[in-house]
Each structure stands twice: as C-alpha cells, then as structure tokens.
Structure 1
C-alpha cells in the first residue's frame, strides 16, 4: 500500500492506494475508503497498411534484392534525398526511363515524394523493396 500526503487549497489529504484489481483501485482518503475506476490505457494506434504491402511480402521471400545490393555499381544510383519508407516502385530491371520519369515513391514526414530519374537510361538494379525503410543517400534504383 502506497501512502501520499497532499495539500490542496489549504486542505490536507492523506491518501493510501491499496489493491488494484483490473481497473478498480481501493483508495483511502483521510480514513474513508473508496473504490475508484481507472481509465484503461489507450491501445497503441495501429498503422494503416500501405497500398502494395502484399507485393512486399512476396518480394521479401526472394533473395534477389539482397544479391543485387552486393554486386551493384551504386555510382549511377538514384539515392534517397531523406530518410523514409518506400511505398511504391514504378520501374523494374530492364525498363528504359527518361529524365523526369517517376521511379520510386518515398514516404517521409507523412508525405509521399515522387523520386524522378535524373538521367535517361536503362534500369539495371532495384536496390529496395516496398515497405523498406531507407536512410538519406541510400541507393534506390541504378540507371545506366
């Protein structure tokens, strides 16, 4: 049993907190016992699923992105301008892209950012998958 002493607006209170059963607490204030119902803790907010998540689950079972990451020339890669989460990939290996084509959608600070090709060429590697968190300057897609 925890005991506390309070003074509120000049009035003194001696409070003893007793047994807690689920969300009901026995509290004694200045010798008088009360049953107090506590508010239940708010459940953590569940994140809304990002469109395209099922594709991410399929991609995660494949080792293809992991092998690409090791053997890729990342000098020609489009890199993440800021930390975020990949919500969509608009290109695949072998696709031809032009300057300004949207290649990846990166969610950062609750905003979707369309990342565009900085040069024309052929996509030789996709270094990320949908749902993956990336840091600033991480390679996303290689265009040669």
Structure 2
C-alpha cells in the first residue's frame, strides 16, 4: 500500500501532470504562441531548458503540481482559448483511454493506477470552478464560450 502511494505521488502524478500541461502547450504552439512555458512542481528550479519557443522548468518539489502558459503579442481568440484550455483534459483523456486498453491486456496491473489518475485529471479539470483565485480549465472554457455569443 505504501509503495503504491509513493509511486502515485512521485511518478504517476508528476508524469500525468506533465501530460496535462503538454496538452495546453501543444494547441498554444499550433495557434502560434510567441512563448510557452511548462513548470513541473514548486520551489527551486532544478532543471530548465528552452527549445525554440518553449521553456520547460522542473522544480525541486516536482510532485507538487504543474502549470503552463502560452503568450502571444496579439490576444488569443475565444475559440483558441477554448482549445488551449481543453487541450490538457483532452490529452489526459486520450492517455487514460490508451492506458485502459493496455491495462485490459495486462490484466489490471501496472497501467491501472496511471489510467485512473489520468482519467481523474481529465474529468476534474473539465468541471467549471474557481477556488481561491485559481480557476479550472472547465471554468476557462465556460467563460470563453460565454464571450463567443
């Protein structure tokens, strides 16, 4: 049980959050963001690299969340904002689907925990909510949809 919790905290969650944030970065780049950043964790930056328009930073407490940003001189349209916000949950959903079929073939072994966590990220991030100044992807999508009218 302790081993499973440690695997979840130090391996599955960070990798799933990395996938989620890549899901935001990819549409940002497709919509020609001038600069994109992906941060995994909190605290001191342990590792940082830049490849063209993308900077990636891995922090000391890599298991404590993640965030990304896409910046462009001209504003992103509401349609672009919807795709950028939806990209994270969509990529987690695609990852969860792949892991589900792998876990079926394996007999619910090592792919089950990553499947469940990616499914969790996909679903929970689509729920529109705002908490202590932070908003979910679903909230961003809903706000952009309202402005489309």
Using the size of structure 2 for normalisation, the TM-score is 0.17
Greater fraction strand: 1
The structure, 1 or 2, with the larger RCO (C-alpha pairs under 8 Å, 6+ apart) is: 2
Greater fraction helix: 2
Using the size of structure 1 for normalisation, the TM-score is 0.17
